[in-house]
Amino acid sequence: MDISISLAIVLLLVLAAEFVNGWTDAPNAIATVVSTRVLTPYRAVAMAAALNIIGALVTGTAVATTIGAGIVKPEVIDLHTVGAAMITIVVWSTVAWRWGIPTSETHELVAGLAGAGLATAGPSVLLWGGWQKVLIGLVLSTGLGFLFGFAVMLIIYRLLYHASHTSVKTIFGRLQILSSAFMAFSHGSNDGQKFMGVFALALFLGGVLPQFHVPIWVILICGLVMGVGTSVGGWRIMRTIGFRLTKLEPVNGFAAETSAGLAITLASFLGIPLSTTHTISTAIMGVGATRRFSAVRWGVTREIVLTWLLTFPVCAVLGFLFALLLKPIFP
Protein backbone atom coordinates (compact mmCIF):
# COMPACT_ATOMS: atom_id res chain seq x y z
CA MET A 1 0.00 0.00 0.00
CA ASP A 2 1.72 3.16 -1.26
CA ILE A 3 0.86 6.14 0.96
CA SER A 4 2.08 9.62 0.07
CA ILE A 5 3.05 12.20 2.69
CA SER A 6 -0.09 14.21 1.89
CA LEU A 7 -2.32 11.17 2.37
CA ALA A 8 -0.56 10.23 5.62
CA ILE A 9 -1.15 13.74 6.99
CA VAL A 10 -4.84 13.65 6.09
CA LEU A 11 -5.32 10.18 7.58
CA LEU A 12 -3.75 11.41 10.82
CA LEU A 13 -6.12 14.39 10.78
CA VAL A 14 -9.09 12.02 10.34
CA LEU A 15 -7.93 9.99 13.34
CA ALA A 16 -7.45 13.22 15.32
CA ALA A 17 -11.03 14.19 14.52
CA GLU A 18 -12.19 10.69 15.52
CA PHE A 19 -10.26 11.03 18.78
CA VAL A 20 -11.98 14.34 19.50
CA ASN A 21 -15.27 12.67 18.58
CA GLY A 22 -14.52 10.32 21.46
CA TRP A 23 -14.30 13.35 23.76
CA THR A 24 -17.48 15.05 22.75
CA ASP A 25 -19.95 12.65 21.11
CA ALA A 26 -19.29 9.06 22.19
CA PRO A 27 -19.73 9.96 25.91
CA ASN A 28 -23.39 10.67 25.17
CA ALA A 29 -23.97 6.93 24.78
CA ILE A 30 -22.97 6.23 28.39
CA ALA A 31 -23.66 9.53 30.18
CA THR A 32 -26.96 8.43 31.70
CA VAL A 33 -25.75 5.05 32.97
CA VAL A 34 -22.83 6.83 34.68
CA SER A 35 -25.00 9.60 36.16
CA THR A 36 -27.41 7.05 37.69
CA ARG A 37 -24.39 5.17 39.11
CA VAL A 38 -25.48 1.89 37.56
CA LEU A 39 -22.00 1.52 36.04
CA THR A 40 -18.68 3.07 37.02
CA PRO A 41 -17.21 5.41 34.39
CA TYR A 42 -14.40 3.01 33.49
CA ARG A 43 -16.71 0.03 33.01
CA ALA A 44 -19.09 2.19 30.99
CA VAL A 45 -16.24 3.41 28.76
CA ALA A 46 -14.98 -0.15 28.17
CA MET A 47 -18.49 -1.32 27.27
CA ALA A 48 -19.09 1.66 24.98
CA ALA A 49 -15.79 1.22 23.14
CA ALA A 50 -16.45 -2.49 22.49
CA LEU A 51 -20.07 -2.04 21.41
CA ASN A 52 -19.25 0.96 19.22
CA ILE A 53 -16.90 -1.24 17.21
CA ILE A 54 -19.38 -4.13 17.11
CA GLY A 55 -22.18 -1.78 16.03
CA ALA A 56 -20.10 -0.47 13.16
CA LEU A 57 -18.96 -3.95 12.14
CA VAL A 58 -22.30 -5.75 11.98
CA THR A 59 -24.68 -3.06 10.70
CA GLY A 60 -23.12 -2.40 7.31
CA THR A 61 -21.64 0.84 6.00
CA ALA A 62 -24.69 2.74 4.72
CA VAL A 63 -24.02 5.79 6.90
CA ALA A 64 -20.30 5.74 6.10
CA THR A 65 -21.15 5.68 2.39
CA THR A 66 -23.53 8.64 2.78
CA ILE A 67 -20.79 10.68 4.46
CA GLY A 68 -17.92 9.55 2.25
CA ALA A 69 -19.65 9.70 -1.12
CA GLY A 70 -22.98 11.50 -0.65
CA ILE A 71 -22.27 14.96 0.80
CA VAL A 72 -19.76 16.29 -1.74
CA LYS A 73 -18.70 14.82 -5.09
CA PRO A 74 -15.57 12.72 -4.43
CA GLU A 75 -14.35 13.10 -8.01
CA VAL A 76 -14.01 16.91 -7.83
CA ILE A 77 -12.35 17.33 -4.43
CA ASP A 78 -8.90 16.34 -3.22
CA LEU A 79 -7.03 15.51 -0.04
CA HIS A 80 -6.69 19.09 1.18
CA THR A 81 -10.51 19.36 1.15
CA VAL A 82 -10.80 16.44 3.57
CA GLY A 83 -7.93 17.76 5.68
CA ALA A 84 -9.61 21.16 6.02
CA ALA A 85 -12.84 19.55 7.21
CA MET A 86 -10.97 17.50 9.82
CA ILE A 87 -9.13 20.54 11.20
CA THR A 88 -12.49 22.29 11.46
CA ILE A 89 -13.88 19.46 13.60
CA VAL A 90 -10.85 19.39 15.89
CA VAL A 91 -10.98 23.16 16.45
CA TRP A 92 -14.74 23.52 17.00
CA SER A 93 -15.13 20.37 19.10
CA THR A 94 -12.19 21.26 21.33
CA VAL A 95 -13.58 24.74 22.01
CA ALA A 96 -17.00 23.31 22.90
CA TRP A 97 -15.44 20.52 25.01
CA ARG A 98 -13.46 23.12 26.98
CA TRP A 99 -16.79 24.56 28.14
CA GLY A 100 -18.39 21.16 28.68
CA ILE A 101 -20.94 21.71 25.89
CA PRO A 102 -21.82 18.65 23.78
CA THR A 103 -21.58 19.26 20.04
CA SER A 104 -22.70 17.33 17.00
CA GLU A 105 -19.76 15.88 15.09
CA THR A 106 -22.26 14.93 12.39
CA HIS A 107 -23.09 18.54 11.67
CA GLU A 108 -19.49 19.66 12.08
CA LEU A 109 -18.45 17.01 9.58
CA VAL A 110 -21.02 17.75 6.89
CA ALA A 111 -20.68 21.52 7.32
CA GLY A 112 -16.88 21.34 7.27
CA LEU A 113 -16.91 19.13 4.16
CA ALA A 114 -19.38 21.45 2.47
CA GLY A 115 -17.36 24.59 3.24
CA ALA A 116 -14.09 23.00 2.16
CA GLY A 117 -15.76 21.57 -0.95
CA LEU A 118 -17.13 24.98 -1.90
CA ALA A 119 -13.65 26.47 -1.61
CA THR A 120 -12.27 23.66 -3.79
CA ALA A 121 -14.86 23.27 -6.55
CA GLY A 122 -17.74 25.71 -6.08
CA PRO A 123 -21.48 25.08 -5.46
CA SER A 124 -21.71 22.17 -7.90
CA VAL A 125 -19.70 20.04 -5.45
CA LEU A 126 -22.72 19.55 -3.16
CA LEU A 127 -24.88 16.44 -3.56
CA TRP A 128 -28.52 17.07 -2.74
CA GLY A 129 -29.33 13.39 -2.12
CA GLY A 130 -26.93 13.20 0.81
CA TRP A 131 -28.06 16.54 2.20
CA GLN A 132 -31.66 15.34 2.17
CA LYS A 133 -30.60 12.53 4.48
CA VAL A 134 -28.79 15.01 6.75
CA LEU A 135 -31.93 17.16 7.03
CA ILE A 136 -34.08 14.08 7.72
CA GLY A 137 -31.56 13.10 10.40
CA LEU A 138 -31.91 16.54 12.00
CA VAL A 139 -35.67 16.02 12.31
CA LEU A 140 -35.27 12.46 13.60
CA SER A 141 -32.66 13.37 16.21
CA THR A 142 -34.57 16.30 17.70
CA GLY A 143 -38.22 15.37 17.15
CA LEU A 144 -38.13 11.61 17.63
CA GLY A 145 -35.65 11.84 20.50
CA PHE A 146 -37.99 14.04 22.55
CA LEU A 147 -41.20 12.26 21.54
CA PHE A 148 -39.82 8.76 22.11
CA GLY A 149 -38.39 9.78 25.49
CA PHE A 150 -41.68 11.35 26.58
CA ALA A 151 -43.78 8.41 25.33
CA VAL A 152 -41.57 5.61 26.74
CA MET A 153 -41.44 7.32 30.14
CA LEU A 154 -45.24 7.72 30.23
CA ILE A 155 -45.71 4.04 29.36
CA ILE A 156 -43.36 2.99 32.15
CA TYR A 157 -45.19 5.24 34.64
CA ARG A 158 -48.49 3.68 33.62
CA LEU A 159 -47.21 0.10 33.87
CA LEU A 160 -45.47 0.59 37.22
CA TYR A 161 -47.92 2.98 38.83
CA HIS A 162 -48.40 0.80 41.93
CA ALA A 163 -44.79 -0.40 42.23
CA SER A 164 -42.62 0.80 45.10
CA HIS A 165 -39.72 3.18 44.48
CA THR A 166 -37.24 0.61 45.79
CA SER A 167 -38.39 -2.16 43.46
CA VAL A 168 -38.43 0.20 40.45
CA LYS A 169 -34.90 1.35 41.22
CA THR A 170 -33.68 -2.25 41.60
CA ILE A 171 -35.33 -3.51 38.41
CA PHE A 172 -34.22 -0.62 36.21
CA GLY A 173 -30.76 -0.56 37.74
CA ARG A 174 -30.29 -3.89 36.00
CA LEU A 175 -32.24 -3.06 32.87
CA GLN A 176 -30.25 0.13 32.33
CA ILE A 177 -27.13 -1.90 31.68
CA LEU A 178 -28.96 -3.39 28.70
CA SER A 179 -30.33 -0.03 27.51
CA SER A 180 -26.90 1.64 27.75
CA ALA A 181 -25.40 -1.29 25.81
CA PHE A 182 -28.10 -0.81 23.16
CA MET A 183 -27.35 2.92 23.04
CA ALA A 184 -23.60 2.29 22.60
CA PHE A 185 -24.28 -0.31 19.89
CA SER A 186 -26.62 2.04 18.00
CA HIS A 187 -24.07 4.85 18.34
CA GLY A 188 -21.51 2.64 16.61
CA SER A 189 -24.02 1.76 13.90
CA ASN A 190 -24.46 5.42 13.00
CA ASP A 191 -22.03 7.90 14.50
CA GLY A 192 -19.16 5.45 14.60
CA GLN A 193 -19.39 5.02 10.83
CA LYS A 194 -18.98 8.66 9.87
CA PHE A 195 -15.24 9.06 10.26
CA MET A 196 -14.75 5.60 8.84
CA GLY A 197 -16.42 6.94 5.71
CA VAL A 198 -14.09 9.96 5.66
CA PHE A 199 -11.04 7.74 6.22
CA ALA A 200 -12.10 5.59 3.26
CA LEU A 201 -12.74 8.74 1.20
CA ALA A 202 -9.16 9.90 1.88
CA LEU A 203 -7.81 6.48 0.84
CA PHE A 204 -9.83 6.74 -2.39
CA LEU A 205 -8.61 10.27 -3.13
CA GLY A 206 -5.05 9.20 -2.33
CA GLY A 207 -5.23 6.37 -4.87
CA VAL A 208 -5.01 3.54 -2.32
CA LEU A 209 -8.57 2.34 -2.94
CA PRO A 210 -9.59 1.91 -6.59
CA GLN A 211 -13.20 2.69 -5.64
CA PHE A 212 -14.92 3.97 -2.52
CA HIS A 213 -15.62 1.31 0.11
CA VAL A 214 -14.93 0.87 3.83
CA PRO A 215 -12.48 -1.97 4.63
CA ILE A 216 -12.81 -3.81 7.95
CA TRP A 217 -9.39 -2.61 9.12
CA VAL A 218 -10.58 0.99 8.76
CA ILE A 219 -13.59 0.20 10.97
CA LEU A 220 -11.33 -1.33 13.63
CA ILE A 221 -8.78 1.50 13.66
CA CYS A 222 -11.39 4.27 13.83
CA GLY A 223 -13.40 2.45 16.50
CA LEU A 224 -10.32 1.97 18.68
CA VAL A 225 -9.27 5.63 18.37
CA MET A 226 -12.78 6.79 19.30
CA GLY A 227 -12.77 4.54 22.37
CA VAL A 228 -9.43 5.95 23.51
CA GLY A 229 -10.75 9.49 23.08
CA THR A 230 -13.77 8.69 25.24
CA SER A 231 -11.62 7.29 28.04
CA VAL A 232 -9.25 10.26 27.99
CA GLY A 233 -11.56 13.24 27.77
CA GLY A 234 -15.22 12.29 27.86
CA TRP A 235 -15.97 13.19 31.47
CA ARG A 236 -16.91 16.83 30.88
CA ILE A 237 -19.62 15.90 28.39
CA MET A 238 -20.87 13.07 30.59
CA ARG A 239 -21.43 15.58 33.40
CA THR A 240 -23.41 17.92 31.15
CA ILE A 241 -25.61 15.24 29.60
CA GLY A 242 -25.96 12.99 32.64
CA PHE A 243 -26.17 15.46 35.51
CA ARG A 244 -27.00 18.98 34.34
CA LEU A 245 -30.00 18.55 31.99
CA THR A 246 -32.33 16.96 34.56
CA LYS A 247 -32.22 14.66 37.58
CA LEU A 248 -32.06 11.03 36.45
CA GLU A 249 -32.94 7.80 38.22
CA PRO A 250 -32.21 4.40 36.62
CA VAL A 251 -35.76 4.22 35.24
CA ASN A 252 -35.27 7.62 33.56
CA GLY A 253 -31.90 6.59 32.16
CA PHE A 254 -33.42 3.40 30.78
CA ALA A 255 -36.21 5.33 29.06
CA ALA A 256 -33.82 7.92 27.56
CA GLU A 257 -31.28 5.37 26.31
CA THR A 258 -33.93 3.07 24.88
CA SER A 259 -35.67 5.96 23.11
CA ALA A 260 -32.45 7.37 21.67
CA GLY A 261 -31.24 3.90 20.64
CA LEU A 262 -34.48 3.22 18.75
CA ALA A 263 -34.28 6.52 16.86
CA ILE A 264 -30.60 5.99 15.99
CA THR A 265 -31.14 2.39 14.87
CA LEU A 266 -33.97 3.48 12.58
CA ALA A 267 -31.74 6.12 11.01
CA SER A 268 -28.84 3.68 10.58
CA PHE A 269 -31.11 1.21 8.81
CA LEU A 270 -32.08 3.97 6.36
CA GLY A 271 -28.47 5.16 5.89
CA ILE A 272 -29.32 8.51 7.51
CA PRO A 273 -26.54 10.21 9.50
CA LEU A 274 -27.91 11.86 12.61
CA SER A 275 -26.51 13.44 15.73
CA THR A 276 -26.37 11.14 18.74
CA THR A 277 -25.82 14.27 20.83
CA HIS A 278 -29.12 15.70 19.67
CA THR A 279 -30.91 12.38 20.05
CA ILE A 280 -29.89 11.50 23.62
CA SER A 281 -30.15 15.12 24.78
CA THR A 282 -33.70 15.55 23.49
CA ALA A 283 -34.64 12.08 24.79
CA ILE A 284 -33.47 13.14 28.27
CA MET A 285 -35.49 16.36 27.92
CA GLY A 286 -38.57 14.33 26.95
CA VAL A 287 -38.10 12.01 29.92
CA GLY A 288 -37.63 14.94 32.30
CA ALA A 289 -40.68 16.76 30.95
CA THR A 290 -42.96 13.89 32.01
CA ARG A 291 -42.38 14.82 35.67
CA ARG A 292 -43.00 18.50 35.12
CA PHE A 293 -41.85 21.05 32.57
CA SER A 294 -39.57 22.77 35.07
CA ALA A 295 -37.76 19.49 35.82
CA VAL A 296 -35.62 20.16 32.73
CA ARG A 297 -32.89 22.73 33.30
CA TRP A 298 -33.72 24.90 30.33
CA GLY A 299 -30.81 27.27 30.93
CA VAL A 300 -28.37 24.42 30.22
CA THR A 301 -30.56 23.39 27.29
CA ARG A 302 -30.31 26.88 25.79
CA GLU A 303 -26.49 26.68 25.89
CA ILE A 304 -26.56 23.35 24.08
CA VAL A 305 -29.10 24.46 21.47
CA LEU A 306 -27.16 27.69 20.79
CA THR A 307 -24.04 25.61 20.11
CA TRP A 308 -26.07 23.39 17.75
CA LEU A 309 -27.35 26.44 15.84
CA LEU A 310 -23.86 27.91 15.51
CA THR A 311 -22.26 24.65 14.38
CA PHE A 312 -23.44 24.67 10.76
CA PRO A 313 -22.45 28.24 9.78
CA VAL A 314 -19.26 28.37 11.86
CA CYS A 315 -17.94 25.01 10.63
CA ALA A 316 -18.85 25.80 7.02
CA VAL A 317 -16.87 29.04 7.21
CA LEU A 318 -13.95 27.36 8.99
CA GLY A 319 -13.89 24.56 6.42
CA PHE A 320 -13.87 27.11 3.60
CA LEU A 321 -10.99 29.11 5.17
CA PHE A 322 -8.88 26.08 6.08
CA ALA A 323 -9.28 24.73 2.54
CA LEU A 324 -7.95 27.99 1.13
CA LEU A 325 -5.01 27.87 3.54
CA LEU A 326 -4.14 24.22 2.81
CA LYS A 327 -4.48 24.36 -0.99
CA PRO A 328 -1.01 25.89 -1.63
CA ILE A 329 0.59 23.38 0.76
CA PHE A 330 -0.81 20.16 -0.71
CA PRO A 331 0.53 19.06 -4.10
Instruction: Write out residues in the chain with pLDDT < 50, as ranges.
Output: none
Residue 222: CB partners within 8 Å, gap ≥ 6?
14, 15, 18, 56, 192, 195, 196, 199
Residue 328: CB partners within 8 Å, gap ≥ 6?
none
Residue type at position 236:
R
Name the burial class of residue 285, with classes exposed (0-12), middle (13-18) and buried (19+) by CB atoms within 10 angstroms of its CB. buried
Distance CA 289, CA 297 (A): 10
Residue 33 and residue 39 in contact, taking contact as beta carbons nearer than 8 Å: yes
Distance CA 328, CA 250 (A): 54
Q: Closest Cα partner for 38 from 190, 236, 183? A: 183
Q: 42-49: long-range contacts (C-beta < 8 A, 24 or more apart)?
A: 42/231, 44/180, 45/227, 45/230, 45/231, 45/234, 47/180, 47/181, 47/184, 48/180, 48/184, 48/187, 48/227, 48/230, 49/223, 49/224, 49/226, 49/227, 49/228, 49/230, 49/231
- The DSSP line for 238-259 is HHIIIIISS---HHHHHHHHHH
Residue 164 and residue 170 in contact, taking contact as beta carbons nearer than 8 Å: no
**What pLDDT is stored for residue 112 in this prediction?**
95
**What pLDDT is stored for residue 302 in this prediction?**
67
Residue 260 and residue 183 in contact, taking contact as beta carbons nearer than 8 Å: yes
Q: Closest Cα partner for 101 from 284, 276, 304? A: 304
Would you give the DSSP letter of residue 72?
Answer: B
Name the burial class of residue 243, with classes exposed (0-12), middle (13-18) and buried (19+) by CB atoms within 10 angstroms of its CB. middle
Distance CA 298, CA 308 (A): 15
